[in-house]
């Protein structure tokens, strides 16, 4: 067992070997060998319960990824993801990775929508997956965001190069939903090969020294994050 280091966790030597794999590969293995294992569980205040299994997560995400490819998403592109923690956003995040793109979690409660617009231009993002939540709870701020970005109130499509795809039915004209996408025949669409070195996730810095900066993480770095300082979390069951 490695000795406890007095240094910052960034300088603490790893106590386990690095894993040369991707988020996609782990998700696929879980779908194959633990298909019925619940991956995500949501409980509402009224006691209702919703869950997503490994197999369902991967299958729905793979189908959505094929749709993204047909819309022009390419390996290395940045795709925004907007919405609460939900089954829909979980599917969306894996779909972006399967399409070879980079997940950018968009914060819709920024001081101004102009901040998001500037980041979209900086990242050259052309697509955004949107979940307005149960009963379209987050529709007003999403509408305001898309109106500022695209110049349109009721549609994120049109003459603009930026496109929004809705993961749940919302009161938007011409909106494409995850339910509709799942009904399409897309089995012949090929997905790109993804390796651990490829980009996977964009995270924003705190902005304490000025404007927030975007930091990109690869599949390899995500799969080899330092273990928790909590002794009880140091070794997770395989």
Question: Which structure tokens are listed for 108?
Answer: 């819709």
pLDDT band of 90, cuts 50, 70, 90: very high
Position 198 in a domain: yes
Residue 46 has pLDDT above 70, yes or no: yes
Residue 238 has pLDDT above 70, yes or no: no
| Residue with tokens 């386990």, as numbered in its chain | 16
Position 68 in a domain: yes
Domain that holds residue 182: 18-223
Position 89 in a domain: yes
Q: What is the pLDDT of residue 89?
A: 94
User: Which phi and psi (to 5°) does residue 217 adopt?
Assistant: -120, 140
Position 148 in a domain: yes
What is the spatial distance between Cα 164 and Cα 44, in angstroms, rounded to a whole number?
A: 27
Position 28 in a domain: yes
Q: What is the pLDDT of residue 196?
A: 97
pLDDT tens string 3-32: 565 655 566 666 778 899 999 999 999 999
Q: What is the pLDDT of residue 27?
A: 96
Half-sphere exposure (Cβ direction) of 131: Cα atoms closer than 13 Å = 18
Q: What is the pLDDT of residue 160?
A: 53
How many distinct structural domains can be found in the chain? Answer: 1
- Rg (alpha carbons) of the chain, rounded to whole number: 19
Which of 65-69, 117-121, 125-129, 208-212 has maximum average pLDDT? Answer: 65-69
pLDDT tens string 153-212: 444 444 456 788 889 887 766 667 888 898 899 999 999 999 999 999 998 877 777 777
Position 169 in a domain: yes
Task: Give this prediction's pTM.
Answer: 0.83
Q: What is the pLDDT of residue 224?
A: 87
| Residue with tokens 């194959």, as numbered in its chain | 32
CATH number (domain holding residue 169): 3.40.50.12780
Higher pLDDT, 44 or 114: 44
Q: What is the pLDDT of residue 157?
A: 47
Position 3 in a domain: no
**Burial grade of 148 (CB within 10 A; 0-12, 13-18, 19 or more):** middle
| Rounded average pLDDT over 121-139 | 84
Position 165 in a domain: yes
């Amino acid at each position: 067992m490695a000795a406890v280091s007095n240094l910052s966790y960034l300088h603490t030597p790893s106590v386990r070997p690095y894993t040369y794999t991707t988020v996609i590969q782990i998700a696929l293995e879980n779908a194959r060998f633990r298909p019925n294992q619940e991956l995500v569980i949501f409980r509402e205040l009224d006691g209702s319960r919703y869950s997503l299994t490994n197999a369902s997560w991967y299958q729905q995400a793979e189908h959505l990824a094929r749709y993204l490819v047909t819309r022009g998403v390419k390996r290395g592109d940045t795709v925004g993801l907007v919405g609460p923690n939900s089954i829909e956003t979980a599917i969306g995040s894996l779909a972006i990775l399967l399409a070879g793109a980079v997940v950018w979690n968009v914060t819709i409660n920024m001081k101004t929508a102009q901040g998001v617009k500037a980041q979209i231009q900086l990242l050259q993002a052309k697509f955004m997956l949107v979940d307005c939540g149960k009963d379209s709870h987050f529709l007003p701020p999403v509408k305001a965001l898309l109106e500022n970005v695209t110049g349109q109130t009721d549609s994120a499509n049109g003459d603009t190069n930026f496109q929004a795809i809705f993961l749940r039915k919302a009161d938007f004209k011409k909106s494409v939903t995850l339910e509709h996408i799942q009904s399409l025949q897309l089995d012949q669409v090929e997905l790109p090969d993804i390796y651990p070195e490829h980009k996977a996730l964009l995270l924003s810095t705190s902005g304490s020294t000025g404007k927030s900066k975007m930091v990109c993480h690869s599949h390899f770095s995500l799969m080899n994050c330092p273990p928790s300082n909590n002794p009880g979390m140091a070794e997770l069951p395989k």
